[in-house]
Structure 1
Amino acid sequence: MASETENPKDAALAEQGQAVTVEAKDGAGSSASSQLVTDGSVLSPQPSTSPDDPLNWSWAKKHSVLLALIPGSMLSDWALTWGTVVFELQAPEWNMTVEAVAQSVSPGIFMQGPGGLLSVPLCQRYGRLPVLFWSQLLSLAFTIGATFAPDYASFTAMRTLQGFFGAAPQVIGLSIVHDMFFFHERARKVNIWAASFLIGPYLGPFISSLLLQHLGWRPDFGVLAGFYGFSLLMVIVFGDETLFDRTNLEKRETSESAVTGTRRSFSVAGHVSRLLGIEGFRTSAGRPGLWTVFSHQLLLLTRPYLFLPTALFIMPITMWTIGMVSTISQFVLPPPIAGGYGFSLIAFSMLYFAPMIGTLVAEAWGHWFNDFLARRFMGRYSLESRLFAVYPAVLVGAAGLIVFGQTLQHHLSWVGLAFGWGMLCFCTLANMTAISAYLLDCLPDHAALTGAWLNFWRVIGGFTVTYFQIQWVVRNGPGISFGCQAVVIVGAAFAVVATQVYGKKWRAKFPAPAPEN
Structure 2
Amino acid sequence: MSKESADNLGTVEAENAENTSVVDEADVKAVSDTVLLFPRPTQDPNDPLNWPRHEKFATYLTVCFFTILSTFNSSNFTVAIGPLATEFNVSTTKAGYLVCFNVLLLGVGNPFWVASMRVVGKRPVYLASLLLFIATNTWSYEANTYGSLLASRILSGFASSAADATVPALVADMFFIHERGHCMMIFHLALSCGFFLGPLICAYITQEAGWRWTCGFLAIAGAFTGLVGFFSIHESNYNREKADTELPASSYGPKKSFAANLSITGGYDREASFWKTMRIILSLTAYPAIPWTGFTIGAFVGWNIVVQLTASRTFTAAPYGWEIGSLGLLSISGLIGALLAFFAGGKLTDIIANRMTKANNGIRLPEFRLPALILPAFVGPVGILIFGLCVAYKTHWIGPAVGYAMQGFGLTAVANVLITYAVDGYQPFAGECLVIIFVIRNAIATILALYTSDWQLATGVKNAFGEMVGIQYFLLLFAFPMYFYATQLQEIPQETVHDKWGWVIYRCTYGDDVAWTRFKDIINLRSRQATAESDTPEYVNSLEWKFVDDQHMLEGATRDQLRIHFRKWATEAIKVECPNCPNEYVDCFPRYNYFIQVDEDVLRSVVYEAPQPPNRDLWGEGYVKFVHAHWKSQLELYPDEVNVDEQSYEPVDGCCEEDVGWMMIASDLMERTFYDSWNSRETWYIDYRRPPDMLYY
Establish whether residue 354 from structure 1 lines up as the match of residue 333 from structure 2: yes
Q: Is 1:120 matched with 2:114?
A: yes
Paired position in structure 1 for 2:584: 515
Q: Which one of the candidate residues 270, 290, 299 is aligned to 1:285?
A: 270
State the match for 2:237 in structure 1: 243
Counterpart among 60, 65, 90 of residue 54 in structure 2: 60
Q: 1:78 is matched with which residue? A: 72
Aligned residues: 484
The code of the aligned residue for 2:423 comes to L
- Deviation at 1:315? 2.4
1:301 corresponds to which residue?
Answer: 285
Q: Is the 8 A contact 1:202 1:352 kept in 2?
A: yes
Alpha carbons of 1:20 and 1:223: their partners in 2 closer, same or farther (altered >3 Å)? closer
Q: Report deviation, 1:39.
A: 6.4
CA distance in 2, matches of 1:208, 1:194: 21
Identify the residue that residue 2 of structure 1 maps to in structure 2. Answer: 7
TM-score normalised according to structure 2 size: 0.65
TM-superposed CA distance for 1:349, in Å, is 1.9
Q: How far, CA to CA, are the matches of 2:78 and 2:120 in structure 1?
A: 35
d(CA) in 1 for partners of 2:408 and 2:583?
A: 36
How far apart in 1 are the matches of 2:33 and 2:332?
A: 39
Q: 1:83-162 maps to which residues of 2 (within 5 A)? A: 83-162=77-156
* Contact residue 342 and residue 413 of structure 2 kept, 8 A: yes
In structure 2, relative to structure 1, the CA distance for the partners of 1:249 and 1:409 (3 Å cut) is closer
CA distance in structure 1 between the aligned counterparts of 2:97 and 2:288, rounded to whole angstroms: 34
For structure 2, list consecutive stretches of 5 or more residues without a partner in the other structure. 1-5, 498-581, 588-697
Helix, strand or coil at the partner of 2:29: strand
Say whether 1:333 aligns with 2:338: no
CA–CA distance in structure 2, aligned partners of residues 462 and 469 of structure 1: 10
Distance 1:48 1:162 in 2: 39
Alignment of 1:24-63 (within 5 A): 34-37=28-31, 40-63=34-57
Cα distance, 1:131–1:486 mapped onto 2, change above 3 Å: same
Deviation sequence 1:85-120 (CA, Å, 0-9, x none): 333333443333444333222222212222011111
Report the structure, 1 or 2, having the larger helix content. Answer: 1
Contact 1:20–1:35 under 8 Å retained in 2: no
Counterpart of 2:256 in structure 1 is 265
Please point out which of 457, 465, 473 is paired with 2:448: 465
Which amino acid in structure 2 is aligned with residue 515 of structure 1?
Answer: E
Deviations 1:126-161 (A, max 9, x none): 111111111111011010011111211111111110
Aligned residues of 2:138 and 2:219 also touching (Cα < 8 A)? yes
Closer, same or farther: CA 439–92 of 1 in aligned 2, 3 Å: closer
Kindly report the root-mean-square deviation, in angstroms, between the aligned alpha carbons of the 2 structures.
2.9
Partners of 1:159 and 1:186 lie apart in 2 by 33
Instruction: Give 1:416 shift.
Output: 0.9
- Over the matched positions of the two proteins, sequence identity in percent amounts to 24
Deviates more, 1:102-111 or 1:489-498: 102-111
8 A contact 2:287–2:492 mirrored in 1: no
Q: What is the Cα deviation at residue 38 of structure 1? A: 5.9
**What is the alpha-carbon distance in structure 1 between the residues aligned to residue 369 and residue 583 of structure 2?**
24
Secondary structure at the aligned position of 2:39 is classed as: coil
Decide whether aligned partners of structure 1 residues 91 and 494 sit closer, same or farther in structure 2, where only a CA change above 3 A counts. closer
1 CA distance for matches of 2:393 and 2:244?
A: 69
Q: Distance in 1 between matches of 2:32 and 2:311?
A: 46
Q: Residue 548 of structure 2 aligns with which residue?
A: none
1:492 maps to a residue whose letter is: L
Which of 202, 218, 229 matches 1:224?
Answer: 218
Matches of 1:503 and 1:419, distance apart in 2: 36
The alignment partner of 1:43 has SS state of coil
Cα gap change, 1:309 to 1:102, in 2 (>3 Å): closer
Asked if structure 2 preserves the Cα contact closer than 8 Å seen for 1:14 and 1:40, the reply is no
Contact 2:235 2:266 in 1 (8 A): no
CA distances 1:28-77 after superposition (whole Å, capped 9, x unpaired): xxxxx743236631111111000000100111111111111111111222
Residue 179 of structure 1 pairs with residue 173 of structure 2: yes
Query: 1:367 maps to which residue?
Result: 346
User: Per-residue displacement from partner, 1:369-425 (whole Å, max 9, x unpaired)?
Assistant: 112212221233432121111122111112111211221222222111011111112
Q: Distance in 1 between matches of 2:348 and 2:113?
A: 32
CA distance in 2, matches of 1:332, 1:90: 17
> Given the superposition, is the C-alpha separation of residues 16 and 83 from structure 1 closer, same or farther in structure 2, using an over 3 Å criterion?
closer
Aligned structure 1 segments of 4 or more residues deviating by more than 4 angstroms: 13-23, 511-514
CA distance in 1, matches of 2:469, 2:95: 30
Q: Shift of residue 300 of structure 1?
A: 0.7
Q: Which has the larger radius of gyration?
A: 2
Greater relative CO, 1 or 2 (CA 8 Å, sep 6+):
1
